[in-house]
Structure 1
Amino acid sequence: MKKITLLAFTSLMILGQAFAQTKPKVKLERTKAVQETGKSDYYTFKLSDKVTRQEVTFKNRYGITIAADLYLPKNRGSQSLAALAISGPFGAVKEQSSGLYAQTMAERGFATLAFDPSYTGESGGEPRNVASPDINTEDFSAAVDFLGLHPSVDRNRIGIIGICGYAGMALNAVAVDKRVKAVATTSMYDMSRVNAKGYFDKLTLEERTKTLEQMSQQRWADAQKGTPAPSTNNLPEKLQGNEPQFVVDYFNYYKTPRGFHPNSVNSNGAWTATMPLSFMNMPLLTYIKEISPRPVLLIAGEKAHSRYFSEDAYQAAAEPKELVIIPNASHVDLYDQTDMIPFDKLSAFFNENLKPVKATETAKAAVVR
């Protein structure tokens, strides 16, 4: 097999790329017929007849406008709902995996919000196609802001689901945002750890230094040009047959009709060449223990190359916590394979931990205040 360097592995893990953009993509047109039928090439799944979907926007703490899809169960009645903010995978958009999760959980009675992180998809932020351990953590809290102000939502019953690279940011957000009552992750990546240390922490100091030197020099070129250059470590346009299995799995999702979306960095874009800088310098999950006493559910595939991130996060987190390993599942299987994604487990977890506050408890809380 053709040798692929550890640096290339790390870049591919961040997920593939092709072109940088200096302006946000124009918002995709969705006709009334598409909205009614759900038959849109812009979504990787059909709209369920059990939910409604509404395009919404809100601002995060940094003033960046976040684009999202709000899903509500049609049979919700007049009672306030428990709600879930959902994002990921890293480099994906709300019309892909996070939207599928949001729709499925809305079918099960939750108000759900699938959002595009800052600088990607239909969300704002300049330049395009960058990521930040801080700002993308904040995006989850901004989604909680939105949900807590919605008339259909009980703000005391809000949880978070993070997928892939945004799972680490989801845990990071819950550690500091005490409004969130429960958090679940699937196919988790710790983006700071894998950028700073490589897969399985095997990036040597020499390799790390070389990578940082290259990005430091790239800043001169970007500053002179006035725009950031794109990364050159991309998912291939065609498979050659000698790629690692995880690259094949990513390709089969992002580069085929199964999961392709024109707004997805991984399908049709490029992270900037210097995007990893902040992740290599600012660790996530430093305060993961402070999620407790709120519960954490970590879900990973048995055959996922990323499984160790969930296992290590489980060891680092405090009780109550649970680690679920899905037999025979790969990392990417948990993006969209509904026969493998444990939606029954997710529903049970959030139903248990986002129960309505009893009137007596509310009265006691009012007295304390």
Structure 2
Amino acid sequence: MRTNVTFDSAGLQLAGHLYLPDNEPATRRPAIVIGHPGTGVKEQAAGLYAERLARAGFITLAFDAAYQGESEGFPRGLEDPGHRVEDFKAAVSFLSVHDQVDPDRIGALGICASGGYVIPAAATDHRIKAVATVSAVDISRQFREGADGRQDPAIIQSMLATASTARTSEAHGESIGDLTLFPESEEEARAGGRHVFEGWEYYRTDRARHPRSAKAMPWSSVDRITQFDAFRFISLIGPRPLLMIAGREAVTSWMTTQAFEQASHPKELLWIDGASHVDLYDKDKYVTPAVAKLTDFYRSTL
């Protein structure tokens, strides 16, 4: 059963979907907070994982980040890593007082960029008892170094220069527009390589297109993102358990590998053979084994 909920995150009302198992619990149940990929909304990958895990008996909460989807915040589409971390903690607060949730058995799952945001949230919030990621990305590292880690350093410097210009323009009451996130055409997307094309295909075609998912972000997002460091304090999660899941074909998998090396025990890394980064958002061939592993993980740790 899915219901619409709202909760506060640093003064902004966030919109969420709360999934309850079909059979009514006789006692309080474990619960899982699930964060969506960058540019995504709760109706996409986060909602798919929330629904699947609810079928396995967990109470799950997928929510739109502040400034995005149905949640409050202006400018629209802003990607603010500090607030994204706070959003996870606010979602935990919401679940911790829900009458069907056991507040001592709350876990968290982050997908893509949320796989980076969930790490500092869990590192500093001991109410999160078990942490998992799927296709984890440190969005700051992706902006600075590229999805494959090979980006020309001049690119981020150029973006930061534009972001600085945008802030001055805004102070004058003007705008230079937003940062476009996806190519306009399939031809342009394919020219950008597999990772760019798969992101375009997921967000811009009938595969998973949603009217509220972000197509652009304010330039003021860029300097906020660049100064962030998602995995710096990952070692603080231990001795609480950590599970990281990534596709062997994902161009971003190096970020999961590096984060996992820095993490303290107990920790586990699951590779999904044949899967790319975006494949783990919605392709049943890859989502099914990921959810099976997540189910076992949360059942044994919550």
Per the TM alignment, residue 330 of structure 1 is displaced from its structure 2 partner at its CA by 0.7
Q: 1:81 to 1:233 in 2, by over 3 A?
A: closer
TM-score (norm 2): 0.94
- Number of corresponding residues: 299
CA distance in 2, matches of 1:330, 1:279: 24
Per the TM alignment, residue 78 of structure 1 is displaced from its structure 2 partner at its CA by 1.6
- The residue type equivalent to 1:160 in the other structure is A
Which moved further from structure 2: 242-251 or 220-229?
A: 220-229
Partner of residue 234, structure 2:
288
Which moved further from structure 2: 144-153 or 249-258?
A: 249-258
Percent of matched pairs sharing the same residue:
38
Per the TM alignment, residue 200 of structure 1 is displaced from its structure 2 partner at its CA by 4.3
CA distance in 2, matches of 1:202, 1:245: 15
- The residue type equivalent to 1:298 in the other structure is M
- The residue type equivalent to 1:95 in the other structure is E
Query: Does the Cα contact within 8 Å between 2:88 and 2:118 map onto a contact in 1?
Result: yes
Per the TM alignment, residue 287 of structure 1 is displaced from its structure 2 partner at its CA by 1.0
Query: Does the Cα contact within 8 Å between 2:53 and 2:60 map onto a contact in 1?
Result: yes
- The residue correspondences of 1:254-273 to structure 2 (distance < 5 A) are 254-265=203-214, 269-273=215-219
Q: 1:149 to 1:281 in 2, by over 3 A?
A: same
Q: Does 1:155 align with 2:103?
A: yes
Q: Does 1:351 align with 2:299?
A: yes
Partner of residue 243, structure 1:
192
Per the TM alignment, residue 197 of structure 1 is displaced from its structure 2 partner at its CA by 3.1
Partner of residue 220, structure 2:
274
Per the TM alignment, residue 238 of structure 1 is displaced from its structure 2 partner at its CA by 3.2
- The residue type equivalent to 2:282 in the other structure is D
CA distance in 2, matches of 1:152, 1:232: 42
Per the TM alignment, residue 235 of structure 1 is displaced from its structure 2 partner at its CA by 2.8
CA distance in 1, matches of 2:231, 2:43: 27
Partner of residue 297, structure 1:
243
- Cα deviation, 1:277-316, whole Å, max 9, x if unaligned, reads 1121232222110000001100000101111111111001
Per the TM alignment, residue 64 of structure 1 is displaced from its structure 2 partner at its CA by 0.9
Query: Which residue, 121, 133, 139 being the options, matches 1:185?
Result: 133
- The residue type equivalent to 1:193 in the other structure is R
- Cα deviation, 1:221-259, whole Å, max 9, x if unaligned, reads 222235572114533233355331112211221112120
Query: SS of 1:271's equivalent?
Result: strand
Which moved further from structure 2: 212-221 or 316-325?
A: 212-221
Query: SS of 1:213's equivalent?
Result: helix
Q: RMSD across aligned C-alpha pairs, in angstroms? A: 1.6
- Cα deviation, 1:67-90, whole Å, max 9, x if unaligned, reads 000000111332111000001111
Q: 1:335 to 1:205 in 2, by over 3 A?
A: closer
Partner of residue 129, structure 1:
77
- The residue correspondences of 1:1-369 to structure 2 (distance < 5 A) are 52-60=1-9, 62-203=10-151, 205-226=153-174, 229-240=177-188, 241-265=190-214, 269-341=215-287, 342-354=290-302
Higher strand share: 2
Structure 1 unaligned segments of length 5 or more: list them. Answer: 1-51, 355-369
